[in-house]
């Protein structure tokens, strides 16, 4: 058990180059945040060049949008773009001192990704996972140095959501935790240190909300009644809107993970699984509000 409270800032290691594994939407969003806030080189990789190119194009577009809104100067936009490299060559990760992954939410995939990347990086580099509900300790099961693995869970959309959950395992050392906390502060996010339990804190609560909303619909309450009943609570999005934001596959996975961990307390929603498998998107009315499955 680690001592209570935040780790000593003085233990934090410098982050001078960032490696991002995965070039999907979450990874691209936080790759942009790293380059914008830390102003260090960011290398982004994925399974193939097409995925890498898509991620880099997203980052370039978002930098263009910041320029368009007058948030950054043309010089700054060019500098930021020049700091981003997309590659399928893991050798470019060799001098990264912070490597973070956001690949498919499957334990075996994440374990293999880390075991593979460990061959290419320094033993000093910090490894971070953006998993939203898998066990960080299990993700690091194949690592030679599990003490440098930490959970670093962003929320979607990364640019606006203020929170990062920093997840320590029984092996995470204080220098790694300290680096994570200092890095979160440099990204201008609020970080909370959480235990390595399914869903950490936020998804545990969101899974309850989404699971019960799905259960209500599956057992006969009309979609619009459930959605309309929750809306006045003042949440920025109802559970169904949030479901579409994170994607039905991620939503179904989050419910599954919680149901597997706490079968008596969480609903797994077989219907959501089927919808996700079919690549379903929610129906919207003419004003763009969700109105049903």
What does the binding site for ligand CAA look like in residue numbers (CB under 6 A)? 132, 155-157, 159-161, 203, 206, 236-237, 242, 245-246, 250, 254
Query: What values do phi and psi take at 276, rounded to 5?
Result: -65, -40
Of 7 and 55, CB closest to ligand CAA: 55
Q: What residues have CB less than 8 Å from 47, skipping those under 6 apart? A: 88
Q: What share of the chain is helix, strand, coil (3-state, %, to 5)?
A: 50, 15, 40
For residue 231, the minimal CB distance to ligand CAA (Å) is 12
Let me know: does 56 contact 24? Beta carbons within 8 Å: no
Of 11 and 159, CB closest to ligand CAA: 159
Q: For residue 153, indicate whether it is catalytic.
A: yes
End-to-end CA distance of the chain: 44
For residue 242, the minimal CB distance to ligand CAA (Å) is 6
Q: Taking the C-alpha atoms of 166, 121, 158 and 84 in order, what is their torsion angle to the nearest 10 degrees?
A: 160
For residue 203, the minimal CB distance to ligand CAA (Å) is 5
Q: Would you give the DSSP letter of residue 197? A: -
> Which among 104, 143, 138 has a CA at the least distance from the CA of 127?
143
Token pair recorded at residue 70: 């007058």
Of 71 and 265, CB closest to ligand CAA: 71
Catalytic residue, candidates 153, 168, 258, 259: 153
For residue 141, the minimal CB distance to ligand CAA (Å) is 21
Q: Cα–Cα distance between 24 and 33 in angstroms, integer?
A: 14
For residue 155, the minimal CB distance to ligand CAA (Å) is 4
Of 57 and 237, CB closest to ligand CAA: 237
The 3-state DSSP class for residue 21 equals strand
| 74-83 vs 49-68: helix crossing angle, rounded to 10 | 160
Token pair recorded at residue 293: 């499955």
For residue 157, the minimal CB distance to ligand CAA (Å) is 3
Of 159 and 271, CB closest to ligand CAA: 159
Query: What values do phi and psi take at 101, rounded to 5?
Result: -115, 150
Of 40 and 159, CB closest to ligand CAA: 159
Residues taking part in catalysis: 153
């Amino acid at each position: 058990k680690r001592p209570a409270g935040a780790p000593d800032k003085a233990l934090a290691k410098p982050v001078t180059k960032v490696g991002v594994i995965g070039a999907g939407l979450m990874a691209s969003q936080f790759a942009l945040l790293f380059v914008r806030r830390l102003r260090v080189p960011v290398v982004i990789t994925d399974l193939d060049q097409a995925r890498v190119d898509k991620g880099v194009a997203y980052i370039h577009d978002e930098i263009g949008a910041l320029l368009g809104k007058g948030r950054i100067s043309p010089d700054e936009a060019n500098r930021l773009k020049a700091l981003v490299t997309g590659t399928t060559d893991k050798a470019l990760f060799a001098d990264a001192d912070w490597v973070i992954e956001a690949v498919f939410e499957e334990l075996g995939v994440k374990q293999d990704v880390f075991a593979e990347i460990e061959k290419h990086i320094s033993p000093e580099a910090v490894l971070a996972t953006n998993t939203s509900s898998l066990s960080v300790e299990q993700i690091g099961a194949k690592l030679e140095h599990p003490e440098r693995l930490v959970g670093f869970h962003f929320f979607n959309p990364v640019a606006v959501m203020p929170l990062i959950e920093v997840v320590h395992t029984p092996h995470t050392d204080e220098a790694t935790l300290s680096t994570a906390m200092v890095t979160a502060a440099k990204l201008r996010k609020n970080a909370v240190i959480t235990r390595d339990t399914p869903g950490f804190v936020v998804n545990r609560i969101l899974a309850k909300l989404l699971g019960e909303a799905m259960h209500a619909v599956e057992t006969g309450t009309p979609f619009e009644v459930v959605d309309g009943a929750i809306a006045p609570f003042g949440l920025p999005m109802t559970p169904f809107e949030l479901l579409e934001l994170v994607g039905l596959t991620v939503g179904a996975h989050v419910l599954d993970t919680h149901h597997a961990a706490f079968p008596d307390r969480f609903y797994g929603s077989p219907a959501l699984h089927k919808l996700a498998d079919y690549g379903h998107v929610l129906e919207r009315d003419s004003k763009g509000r969700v109105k049903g499955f």
